[in-house]
Every structure is written in C-alpha cells, then in structure tokens.
Amino acid sequence: MVVMKETASDAEIEAVVERIERVGAKAHVSKGARVTVIGAIGDVETDAAVGALGLEGLPGVDRVVPILKPFKLASLQFRHGEQSVFEIGNAKIGGPYFALIAGPCTVESRDQVLATAEAVKEAGAAMLRGGAYKPRTSPYSFQGLGVEGLALLKEAKERTGLPIVTELMDARDIEPVLEVADVIQIGARNMQNFTLLAEVGRAGRPVLLKRGLAATLEELLMATEYVLKEGNAQVILCERGIRTFENAYRATLDLQAVPVLKELTHLPVVVDPSHAAGRRELVTPMSLAAAAAGADGIIVEVHPKPEEAVCDGPQALRTAEFAAYAEAVRRAAEVAGKVPAGELARAA
C-alpha cells in the first residue's frame, strides 16, 4: 500500500502504478479528498517483488505501508490457528504445556553441573540448561569450557534423563554441540547471525532462539523464518529483556511480548527472567509474572553456590531454594491455564 504525498502529481501516481504492474502485481488506485493511496494486489511472490521495489524513493511518495506480515512459516495462520507442541525427551512444550528449563549459566565443573542437574530434576524441571560456549562482552572474561563443558552436560543428561539446552555461537562448532544438545540455543547477540540460523535450520534439532536486545517481534519472527525455511519446524522463541532508557536493571523484561507473539505465531514462547533482572531477588517475581502472562515455559539460571559462580552469580537461584521456586511458578502457570510439563507435572 503506497500513500502518496498531498502534492503528488498525476504523473507521479502513474509512475508508481507502472512500476507495481511491471513486477506482475495489480495496482489499485484510490483517490481520497486529500491523498491518493495505491494498493498492490498479488500473490506472495509479487508481494515480495513489490516490497523490493523501493517505492518510497520515488517522487511524490509519502510512505509505503506493508499490509501483509512478512513472515509465513512461523505465522499462526500457517498452521490454521493451531499451536505447535514439541516433545523433547520426556518433556512437552507449547500449547497447553508449560516447561521449566533450569541450570547453570556456565558449565564450570563436574560437581557443579551434576549437583545442579539433580536439584532441578528433583524440583520438577523439564530440561537442563548450561553453557559451554559463552558470548562475553569482554574478551578478557571467561569464554566457557568448550568441548569439555559439553562432555559434562552429556554426563548430567545420562544421570538425570533431562534433555539438554546449550548454546551454539559459531557454525564451526556445530558437530560437538549436536552430540549433546537436545535443544540448540542461539543467543540474543546472534539473533540476526543469518548464516548460523540457516545452519541450525539444516541441523534439524530443536532451536531456542533468544530475542535480540533491540529486536522487534517482527524481526524475531523473520529470524525464525531463516531456521524454518531450511525445513526445521521446531523453534522455541525466548523473550529475555530489551534495552531501554531505564538503567535500574540490566534489561527491561517485555512480558507483553508473550501474548502478542502467541497471537502471531504457532511456536512456543518462553521467558528468561535471569538476564533482564541481573539479581536473584527479581528473578522470582518476574518468573511468576511470566508464567501468569501465559508463557509456555521459563528458562532460568540455578547454581549450588552462586557466590562462587564464574559468571552471573548474582542472578542465579540457589539449588537449595529451587523446589519452592518451582512450586510457586507452577501455581502461576496454572492461573494462566497451563499444564506443567515433564517432572513438574509429576510433582504436582
């Protein structure tokens, strides 16, 4: 839909029409009292062709208003309004199922991973999270244990049966990650690393894609299309806080994204309250809020001794307090009409 300026001449209107029709769409001119609006009517292919025309650069054009949503495979319409449910190990996520994903920020040691894995399983978590490759703002910070960390996650999985969620930062590391990960996490900073997205699309393993700190929901869904387009239909979206002017916390958790994404897409939507909060005290209230808002799950950081954590200790829940936390989250999810998944279900 092209909105012309009030001062647009007939020739300028004609030039827009001509360019729309040249790529195979039908132009529909609607002259109002003050401005003329030109619609471009066609199928999906001609839509894309019209979008690429750069009509906003033509003389007399005020602006171009896209009418159709630019994402397709991720849209709720693509599945005729039916939400996707993924089975990952013994856990279910999406639709009615609520999944709690918990574990350490970073894999540090065998003791730390196994102690955490057992505590979160006991408390009802559906999956174990843990990072072996860590994207760090500073090159002088700890960058993760790499393949050694992956091996520890594998051991935790064998012990507890919990599916593993772990991050892939570089397409060149995909093979060792695929040996361990039940869900490949793509971090917020890589949300628009398009070649990495295509790579995990081809890998065919479920993906947990975090929203970038300045990404609109539409951009998040377009990034998702890069994965879906390769034939991988299992993407879990994750809200983890956006960047705003407020500096009282690390990021502003945007919980309105939860109900809005669920109107737009069939894919499950989870919330990471740890990174936005940055402090343990805020993680519980924001987890309850996320569950009550209708999230399909929560991914949260837990550590046996947060004071000794290598990374992000202040935001990690304590394993000792995790069962009470999980129970409170379960109650909040029930307010939103959700069914706990995995062990959390059995605990209920």
Does position 344 bind a second copy by CB under 8 A?
A: no
**Binding a second copy by CB under 8 A: which of 315, 322, 338, 341?**
315
From the list 230, 101, 73, the residue with the least C-alpha distance to 165 is: 101
Does position 42 bind a second copy by CB under 8 A?
A: yes
Stretch in the footprint of a second copy (CB under 8 A) among 90-98, 123-131, 155-163, 324-332: 324-332
Residues 191-220 that bind a second copy (CB under 8 A): 192-195, 198, 212-214, 216-219
From the list 100, 104, 94, 157, the residue with the least C-alpha distance to 344 is: 100
Does position 225 bind a second copy by CB under 8 A?
A: yes
Residue 84 or 315: the one with the smaller Cβ distance to a second copy is 315
Q: What b/e sequence results for 230-265 when a residue is b if at least 16 CB atoms lie within 10 Å of its CB, and e otherwise?
A: eebbbbbbbbbbbeeeeeeebbebbbebbeebbebb
Say how far apart CA 280 and CA 293 lie, in whole Å: 20
Rounded least distance, CB 240 to a second copy, Å: 12
Does position 101 bind a second copy by CB under 8 A?
A: no
Does position 325 bind a second copy by CB under 8 A?
A: no
Does position 91 bind a second copy by CB under 8 A?
A: no
Rounded least distance, CB 206 to a second copy, Å: 19
Does position 190 bind a second copy by CB under 8 A?
A: yes
Does position 82 bind a second copy by CB under 8 A?
A: no
Stretch in the footprint of a second copy (CB under 8 A) among 36-44, 94-102, 108-116, 159-167: 36-44
Residue 48 or 147: the one with the smaller Cβ distance to a second copy is 48
Residue 162 or 292: the one with the smaller Cβ distance to a second copy is 292
Residues 127-156 that bind a second copy (CB under 8 A): 135-142
Does position 310 bind a second copy by CB under 8 A?
A: yes
**Binding a second copy by CB under 8 A: which of 9, 18, 28, 148?**
28
Does position 9 bind a second copy by CB under 8 A?
A: no
Residue 89 or 259: the one with the smaller Cβ distance to a second copy is 259
Stretch in the footprint of a second copy (CB under 8 A) among 149-157, 159-167, 258-266, 339-347: 258-266
